[in-house]
Structure 1
């Protein structure tokens, strides 16, 4: 290794960063950027996993990324929220500063409006008893319970010990414990009647004012007082006791208590958090890093992941509790720049810093918690690089430049062994061993010594056996030595991968054996005996048979260099990088990050500065002290909690609890969802699927998914949240909806179309039948008309009258007789020419009536007059043949034609009605000719077949008029 690389390797141990105290790691959550929140009262988690915070500015939810105000009433008014609770129906209840009560349901906040007595002072607690009845404690008005739609008050006159109430608790029997200004009142509601049992100072309480209560194991109850600290109520013995460590309490009033498996955190009024260790029966005040003002903690809350939420005035902090503990100082001694760390069989932690060698004891006993062992040969330029405890209890320290130091913990005496004593190199980076063998990894090769029976003596002199390239070692630059359970010894080298010593010889593993990197920093063994290697920039490898196989990339730390690996007692690997730490379930490739990047980067963990104590806790040395990781992380939630936040349809939010059916135009959906994982929300990934649309699951990191132009049908949106694309054991949430078909695709529409089609066919058939009947009627009318025409042609009266007129003319005027015969001939010729036509032009019809009128004029002279408007010259339309002739003949036939009563016939066209009128004056004959009326009926029928307009007939005592619709 070059001098530059050696200096770089030493430098990672040398950067100082001062943080005082010993405490869990607390991470600050930025609350509402740009908005001031004066007071935060409490934290709460609902059944869906969402965190809620009660503040002076209302109730907020926090999803790991953003805070959202949720307690805006319909009126738009925002009230201070002092308490939050969720009932068995998943309804969120808010208690307010001035006694108002509201609830959050279906994305709406509504006030509880009741008649009668309601609270007017601050709500200090809400809970639900075994019967589903809600209880509300107040600061000044006792307690209220909500039953049958009414609030019922319990106060001092009803037996409550005091009206000023601080906290409520429900025991396993379903009784309600109420902490007041005068002890505890235990309430039981049966048959709408409340029984109250009081516990005050007279009954053994060590203080009047009970400010907090908390249940712990076996239903024991911790009780916090204003002045006298904490007592414990044993449920089985029904006795109250004060832990010995708390007999002389001096930390002030107790605001809140939270109980863990073997310790209790106690929130005090002005002294921050005090921890009571139930195993060691010892109190200690948690000290916090500079800049974290946690002396004014108001309350604590433990979520389903095991995170502890601290509410302090207007700030929120998140912690893993004792699962992740930062040790900044011990016995008022500041700890920094820890460059080596190890743990002995008693659970004591040995560490070295630039200030020397130390032993940290967590044991319950008279010895000091921190012991320093002066070693005069060490200075800041000869740091300790590694620590090893042999089975005799002697502690070995590998140094940089001074060889190896063997310390007797019982006396503090030590001996130094260097190259002069046979050690292969004075720069010792790693020590490991098993049984009677100890191996030393240096920058010049490896050394081994055997522990004989004299090794238990303080002045024992080891005999070193050295190994280097000449003996088969892959490389003389050794980062780590690791002795596995089978007795084989492994070497992580700089330049030739991994070497393994077995049966007196070495086997080397590099590219040919699957290692893509020649630089290996760390080696460990899992619970199944598999060897793991940590390489430079190439990730992790595990030994399978005769070759190393690369473990799949861990996406969470893909760009981070691993600083150390060690097998945890749970059979998983603990992995440490410069910026994060976590547990790797290597079988499923699940990496559970247990510390955020920004938090660990402040501590600067060192290479291979990692150990495991007998209790399975992982210890690491950093620039800023020590960190302890508890394997209790495995007992908390392993996967994020999925939640569909909202659904928008055509860019408008909907109430997904109410609306699940949409019309065909509402076919654009936007789903917003989240996986609640407060430890590291950035690590959450998602699988989504819209059943009815997607063929398979869609992997995504986005928290929104849009679907456009969905076809009508039934759909179910499904979402699974996992950690970095691992979804086993994840819960699924879903929401189903329907997009209705448009009306024209519905069965009703198809039925109507069928009915319409049947109707069209029916009416088509009927119309066709009607058309056929019309044709038949037209043919029949035509035959009748021809018959009538024939009758007219051979009408005896007409012929008789015509011949009589002709005889008279022959006798008087032969020339006129000739003209008359010609006219009569023309009339019959025109009749024969037009009789087979349906319509003829008006001019053709006027020619017929002109001949007919001339013949009749010879007979009647001036007693018969025909007036045709404009002589019909401007008319341009058609009518059925012989119609006008028949009407003129009809007029002559039915009326007197004489000098005294001349017959005047008028033919004219009405532009307004578009009808041709034939009008005559009426003076009917006394002995009227019999008529069958065939002519008029024939005319009406013929016009019905040719036009939709009707023939108009008007008759008065003086005028008879027929209107004929013309045909264009």
Structure 2
């Protein structure tokens, strides 16, 4: 079938050389070759250029099975064949590379019968088996190898506790803290133990100058080893092997043939042909000794870096005493880099080159303008130009997680070596690649307390990965579950989230869920970003708009009702106060009036009493004068009436007084 400009031009009929009406199970076309997988007759290859057929089957190759279910492209232009009996990989010519289930081999196929093969955009190969579930083959982006006591005999170390490392032109020298020195041949890759080259089997540091290896030991002084003859001379600083002088933790052989020894009793310098002498300014255990391209020697002691002048041999403190140095590295060009607990500095700069939060740094090294730093969380990679950083840990193949105390070394070929308590790790930094594909944040579900929320309550927003959710006031205990679309080493995926109006800062975690309690009423936006295994973050966030409705008694119209009731209450209170004050004022006015009339009544009563008293005498005296007596009696009668009125006023006043009291 030929297609040109999205148009079918013509169809060619190809006769398949199948026997007994064989069944075609899979087809794959690549680079002018058509691959045909059959159910029982193996694999057919058809070259379109010359119409040549080639039949590959169990009888003429190591193909696992003639029953081929699926053909798909593999890495590095290989061809993967899913068969009844396992996975066969065609590399361009037979034999095949075969993979089968083996209970004794870790990470082998879960089951041999493969029905489907799928390669996603991250180049992860997914294998669907008959009853073994799904298998995943991840692209090997970290060319890492671990030398340990669990290796094959040719690569086996005699101890896993690695304390030191050194490189000679033809070999790597590995110092263990249990079984002495090992040699790794560069050409053959064969590991050989040489415990006889040291007085003590606890090697703390190694240094090579010309064709001589110097080995610092705990409880054994130091050894001078001829690399050509593999013979050793053992030296003690004190005749007593248990003396602190013989516990040497760091050693450096200078270009001027001076030997520097960092012991438990401080620094000792061994001049050429002379006995060692102590340096009083450095009286305790030294962590490391290195030198630059100008023959200046640097000493790390108790978090401080000291420098020796190559001409005068005077040693002085070289760094700010406020900085507590964890480790340092002297570059071949003379630049010095050192770490504090969370920062990487270039010597001479005030500001750090990089900060690493929630981590504790160890030793740095630079290879091809990139930094590698041991740390509590693993091995840090830093590109100083782009500021890109990622952490390699046990999920990348390292034998340990905490590598804060691990030392890092760079070989002449650019291979990185890391000493750990569980073997020596080597990484070919020239071949390493990082996962640069940005992941997406995938929404999974929401739980209210422990109950999953019905998906019908979650509404799709206006933009992709945008959702809306309305909750009642008593549904403010929620758990949101999400994930990253990155499936390469998914345990290294990280997440960053923030609930606007609730969280002050972004929160980073490795857990693909977030839980909130007692979220206040109102509108909030939960934003979530995800990173892949190498620290590349998604460009688009997952956003969930959460609208928590208030209870009935906290709605806007409820508050409006509360305001109306409050206003009405204030009105009645004011009315009561005003009317009460008016009543009080009225009573006061009334009282004033009564008091006034009472005073007038008293003023009238006294004269009336004085008037009525002599009238009786006048009436007796004028008994014979009827006319006069009649007039006087009329005067008395009216005076008595007036006095009665005055008395009634006084009685009313007394009654009002008793009532008010």
Q: Given the two structures, how large is their TM-score scaled by the length of structure 2?
A: 0.58
Alignment of 1:286-365 (within 5 A): 292=106, 294=108, 313=132, 321=140, 323-327=143-147, 328-331=150-153, 333=156, 335-346=158-169, 348-353=171-176, 354-361=178-185, 363-364=187-188
Question: What stretches of structure 2 of length at least 5 have no aligned partner?
Answer: 9-13, 472-477, 547-661
Question: What stretches of structure 1 of length at least 5 have no aligned partner?
Answer: 1-128, 134-147, 149-153, 190-194, 234-239, 243-253, 258-265, 273-287, 451-460, 740-968
1:358 positional shift: 1.4
- Aligned partners of 1:541 and 1:548 also within 8 Å: no
CA RMSD, 1 decimal: 5.9
Aligned match of 1:185: 44
Q: Does 1:481 align with 2:289?
A: yes
Q: Quickly say closer, same or farther: Cα 1:608–1:231, change in 2 above 3 A.
A: closer
Q: Does 1:468 align with 2:279?
A: yes
Of the three residues 341, 345, 356, the one matched with 1:542 is 345
Aligned match of 1:413: 231
Q: Quickly say closer, same or farther: Cα 1:204–1:464, change in 2 above 3 A.
A: farther
Q: Quickly say closer, same or farther: Cα 1:228–1:551, change in 2 above 3 A.
A: closer
Q: Distance in 1 between matches of 2:457 and 2:19?
A: 45
Q: Distance in 2 between matches of 1:599 and 1:580?
A: 11
Tell me the SS of whatever aligns to 1:668: strand
Kindly provide the CA deviation profile for residues 196-242 of structure 1, in whole angstroms up to 9, marking residues without a partner as x.
8642259996356466775454x465889989987642xxxxxx365
Tell me the SS of whatever aligns to 1:387: strand
Q: Distance in 1 between matches of 2:357 and 2:86?
A: 52
Aligned match of 2:301: 493
Tell me the SS of whatever aligns to 1:419: coil
Q: Distance in 2 between matches of 1:710 and 1:187?
A: 67
Alignment of 1:652-663 (within 5 A): 652-653=454-455, 660=462
Tell me the SS of whatever aligns to 1:557: coil
Aligned match of 1:930: none
Aligned match of 1:378: 199
Aligned match of 1:684: 494
Q: Which has the higher contact order (CA 8 A, sep 6+)?
A: 1
Tell me the SS of whatever aligns to 1:375: helix
Tell me the SS of whatever aligns to 1:732: coil
Kindly provide the CA deviation profile for residues 585-634 of structure 1, in whole angstroms up to 9, marking residues without a partner as x.
45676542211489868587694544333343332333433223343685
Q: Quickly say closer, same or farther: Cα 1:587–1:440, change in 2 above 3 A.
A: farther
Aligned match of 2:475: none
Q: Distance in 2 between matches of 1:305 and 1:639?
A: 8
Alignment of 1:576-725 (within 5 A): 576-577=374-375, 580-585=378-383, 591-596=389-394, 607-631=405-429, 635-638=433-436, 641-645=439-443, 652-653=454-455, 660=462, 668=470, 673-676=482-485, 678-679=488-489, 681=491, 684-686=494-496, 701=509, 703=513, 720-722=529-531
Q: Quickly say closer, same or farther: Cα 1:509–1:231, change in 2 above 3 A.
A: same
Q: Distance in 2 between matches of 1:527 and 1:675?
A: 42
Q: Does 1:565 align with 2:363?
A: yes
Q: Quickly say closer, same or farther: Cα 1:540–1:441, change in 2 above 3 A.
A: farther
Q: Given the two structures, how large is their TM-score scaled by the length of structure 1?
A: 0.42
Aligned match of 2:248: 428
Q: Distance in 2 between matches of 1:409 and 1:374?
A: 14
Q: Distance in 1 between matches of 2:235 and 2:82?
A: 57
1:418 positional shift: 3.7
Aligned match of 1:800: none
Aligned match of 1:554: 356
Q: Distance in 2 between matches of 1:416 and 1:373?
A: 14
Alignment of 1:734-813 (within 5 A): none
1:479 positional shift: 0.8
Alignment of 1:147-226 (within 5 A): 162-163=22-23, 165=25, 169-173=28-32, 175-176=34-35, 178=37, 181-186=40-45, 198-201=53-56, 206-207=61-62, 209=65, 215-217=74-76, 219=77
Residue-pair matches, total:
501
Q: Distance in 2 between matches of 1:131 and 1:580?
A: 53
Q: Quickly say closer, same or farther: Cα 1:178–1:427, change in 2 above 3 A.
A: same
Q: Quickly say closer, same or farther: Cα 1:377–1:476, change in 2 above 3 A.
A: same
Alignment of 1:248-259 (within 5 A): none
Q: Quickly say closer, same or farther: Cα 1:688–1:528, change in 2 above 3 A.
A: farther
Tell me the SS of whatever aligns to 1:325: strand
Q: Distance in 1 between matches of 2:166 and 2:121?
A: 31
Q: Distance in 1 between matches of 2:127 and 2:247?
A: 46
Q: Quickly say closer, same or farther: Cα 1:631–1:386, change in 2 above 3 A.
A: same
Aligned match of 2:549: none
Which structure has the larger Rg? 1
Tell me the SS of whatever aligns to 2:287: strand
